[in-house]
């Protein structure tokens, strides 16, 4: 991720993060994965691409069907 999305960072790198203290009372959020990075607040399309890549990784291998029945 750091190599592919370096252009949206102002400094540092994309890293795993711990839950924010504000989330302490929200048990349903406890097991979620988190990332932290310094976003340049300019390349929102590229940020969306990062989100899509992460979601694809969570979903696993892509299904070859397009959801339509033949």
54, with CB counted inside 10 A (0-12, 13-18, 19+), is: middle
Angle at 58 between CA 53 and CA 64, to 5 degrees: 80
pLDDT by residue (tens digit) across 46-67? 999 999 999 999 888 765 555 5
pLDDT of the residue at 64: 53
Question: Per-residue pLDDT for 68 more than 70?
Answer: no
- Residue 24's pLDDT band (cuts 50, 70, 90): confident
Question: Per-residue pLDDT for 1 more than 50?
Answer: yes
pLDDT of the residue at 62: 62
Runs of H (alpha helix) within 1-70:
44-59
């Amino acid at each position: 991720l750091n190599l592919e999305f370096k252009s949206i960072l102002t400094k540092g790198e994309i890293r795993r993060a711990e839950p924010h203290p504000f989330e302490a009372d929200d048990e349903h959020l406890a097991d979620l994965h988190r990332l932290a990075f310094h976003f340049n607040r300019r390349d929102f399309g590229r940020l969306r691409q990062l989100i899509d890549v992460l979601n694809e990784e969570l979903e696993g291998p892509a299904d070859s069907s397009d959801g339509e029945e033949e």
